[in-house]
A and B are shown apart, each in its own frame.
Chain A
Amino acid sequence: MSETTTPRLDVHKTYKLFVGGKFPRSESGRVYEVTDRKTGDWLANVPQGTRKDTRDAVAAARKAVGGWSGATAYNRGQILYRAAEMLQGRREQFAAEVALSEGVSTKKAAALVEAAVDRWVWYAGWTDKVAQIAGSANPVAGPYFNLSTPEPTGVVGVVAPTRGNGFSLLGLVSAIAPVIATGNTAVVALAPDAPLPGLSLGEVLATSDLPGGVVNLVSGRTEDIAPTLASHQDVNALDLTGVNSPEGPGSARALETLAADTLKRVRRPDVTDDWTAAQGTDRLLAFLETKTVWHPMGI
């Protein structure tokens, strides 16, 4: 009798949304296919998030605002640092996903993942320093201390980067980390063609002591998700980083028009083509409100 070895069957991963600290499938029950950027081969079925999924994500994000914005900056920094640790521990998986999503070599992908880890750490360090650069003690003509301090805006809708070197993970981290570092919560529309690193990032965040709902990741058609975020009355700000359709409901113009009705803060689409470049404090300061208090001095 001849010895035949049957090849082991692969266990495929079921990618799921990350909403409110849980991993639901889309309420629609639908999925769409994600393909290898270089070869066009099938990679995975990912949930096709809908407007309702987006609404649920916003509700989860709203619920998380109180706790997250009330946490001390030091504590938020620790949690972000913890996320970097978790990401580092799984860097091989992420390198594979980034390579397939962006069509780059495994070696280059590994470098991009390491850059993403470093970026988390960099933003983690900023949590308790933002107030120093965005706040001020104002001279006033009276016996008062007059202090301006930055406060988080609230729920921020983020359209994740869709292009540029390292967009699928490094770019995503560069968009999410500054939003949550200052105490906002985020609902993220992942890049529709390259959602795998983003969906796996949810698993990292879920094991990082990050309270449920602070980051919510929704994959699906940007034309569905982005206008829902832009028109939602309970979203306070919008980051259009990844918007690149010139017209239609998913265009920057249409989204800005929707957002204007509720006076949302809007950050315009980003034209960067290299996410490895140093980021500056631009994104950190984009989603803050300034609170100024007058405090009597003396006596």
Chain B
Amino acid sequence: MPTFPQPPAAAEVAAAADGARESLAEVASSEATLRRFLHGLPGIDAVGLQSRAASLGTRSIKTTAKAYAIDLAISMIDLTTLEGADTPGKVRSLCAKAMRPDPSDPSTPRTAAVCVYPDMVPVARAAVAGSGVQVASVATAFPSGRAGLPVKLADTAEAVAAGADEIDMVIDRGAFLSGRYLEVFETIRAVKEACRRADGTSAHLKVIFETGELQTYDNIRRASWLAMVAGADFIKTSTGKVAVNATPANTLVLMEAVRDFRAATGVQVGVKPAGGIRTTKDAMKYLVTVNEVLGDDWLSPDWFRFGASSLLNDLLMQRQKLTTGRYSGPDYVTVD
């Protein structure tokens, strides 16, 4: 039974990242230099990218490798509930599931985190206390990102004060698409500051691009670099609230960006595809892609996460199939 490391203290990661990023900081000294830098990034061959992503999805993963992949995928899930109808009871039951995904099989690993709205952070914090499951909170006027900076910072600070380990912020796609890169950059910087806690440690910052709204792969690459230079600890594809969420191709762009960023600066940034990943097969395609593009270094919950809710049930059913030899059904996993 493999064990999967849980995320290290966010503070250590953040401190290391801040120092190394200084080498790229001058690109953001003005709107013009930032634009020159982002538009100087190499363009993406869309057809090549899609065929590469598709070809990585054709691998056949069976038996022991499949069992390992399933457990790894479970340990990478940010179990998410982001509904207007969320109640404290629903969040508590989600937390119980995150800590013990399959009560009938204690060898099932726990998920990496639960992901909730800021007002539910205290409930989640209390529910997962001591279990090692992190509490992630969306912030900055999720999912649209359309609010003034003070509101976004207050949103973030509230979640951090309530005990969130990780903050999932959204960028202002309107500003990004109209070319106001510096504004997006400064917002990420400011939110990163707001992630600091009173004791000097800092919550992990994930930056959501909403790739489905960025129109082109080139834009996704630019947004990735923009966020990484600004200080993101994780870059995340989508909110899960629009028509096009994580796809293998746009996640591949993110992966290439973090790979190149580490080569350039030595700083490792995590990747989180979110939304639309529902089956074990989908999850395994992403894991294959991680392994092929990024290698072992990213194959851990510290550096790769799935933002998902229904994926967990499918993984559990497949896991039951592997242990018992018979196909399981939705009656044998909890209803979210």
A-side residues, CB < 8 A to B, are: 55, 58, 62, 228, 231-235, 258, 261
Contact = CB atoms under 8 A, between A and B. Distances in A.
Nearest to A58: B327
A111 B331 CA distance: 44
Contacts of B330: 62, 234
Nearest to B326: A231
Contacts of A228: 327
A265 B83 CA distance: 39
Contacts of A58: 327, 329
B320 to A, nearest CB: 8
A134 B327 CA distance: 32
Nearest to A234: B329
A283 B329 CA distance: 26
Nearest to B328: A233
Contacts of A233: 326-329, 331-332
A295 B33 CA distance: 77
B48 interface: no
Nearest to A51: B327
Nearest to B325: A231
Given A58-B329, A231-B327, A234-B327, 17 more contacts: A58-B327, A62-B329, A62-B330, A228-B327, A231-B325, A231-B326, A232-B327, A232-B329, A233-B328, A233-B329, A233-B331, A234-B329, A234-B330, A234-B331, A235-B329, A258-B326, A261-B326
Contacts of B326: 231-233, 258, 261
A228 B328 CA distance: 11
Interface string B313-336: 000000000000111111110000
A42 B331 CA distance: 44
Contacts of A232: 326-327, 329
A116 to B, nearest CB: 32
A138 B329 CA distance: 35
Give the interface size bracket for B toward A: under 10
A246 B331 CA distance: 33
Nearest to B329: A234
A157 to B, nearest CB: 12
A156 B314 CA distance: 22
B222 to A, nearest CB: 39
A55 B332 CA distance: 15
Contacts of B328: 233-234
Contacts of B327: 55, 58, 228, 231-234
B57 to A, nearest CB: 15
Contacts of B332: 233
A231 B320 CA distance: 13
A48 to B, nearest CB: 18
Contacts of B325: 231
A216 to B, nearest CB: 14
A58 to B, nearest CB: 7
22 contacts: A55-B327, A58-B327, A62-B329, A228-B327, A231-B326, A231-B327, A232-B326, A232-B327, A232-B329, A233-B326, A233-B327, A233-B328, A233-B329, A233-B331, A233-B332, A234-B327, A234-B328, A234-B329, A234-B331, A235-B329, A258-B326, A261-B326
Query: Residue among A55, A228, A235 with the most chain B CB within 10 A?
Result: A55
Q: Which of A58, A232, A235, A258 has the most CB of B within 10 A?
A: A232
Contacts of B329: 58, 62, 232-235
A236 to B, nearest CB: 10
B117 to A, nearest CB: 30
A62 B327 CA distance: 13
Interface in B287-336: 325-332
A50 to B, nearest CB: 12
A234 B135 CA distance: 34
A224 B328 CA distance: 17
Contacts of A235: 329
B105 to A, nearest CB: 14
A261 B330 CA distance: 17
A60 to B, nearest CB: 13
Nearest to A229: B327
5 closest residue pairs by CB, A with B: A234-B329, A231-B326, A232-B327, A233-B329, A233-B328
A258 B326 CA distance: 10
A231 B332 CA distance: 14
A219 B56 CA distance: 31
Contacts of A55: 327
A233 B321 CA distance: 10
A255 B43 CA distance: 58
User: Quick one: which of A58, A228, A234, A261 has the most chain B CB within 10 A?
Assistant: A234
A58 B327 CA distance: 10
Contacts of B331: 233-234
A4 B327 CA distance: 59
A17 B207 CA distance: 45
Nearest to A258: B326
A233 B327 CA distance: 6
A52 to B, nearest CB: 9
B24 to A, nearest CB: 47
Contacts of A231: 325-327
Nearest to A262: B326
A20 B331 CA distance: 20
A128 to B, nearest CB: 29
A232 B327 CA distance: 5
Contacts of A62: 329-330
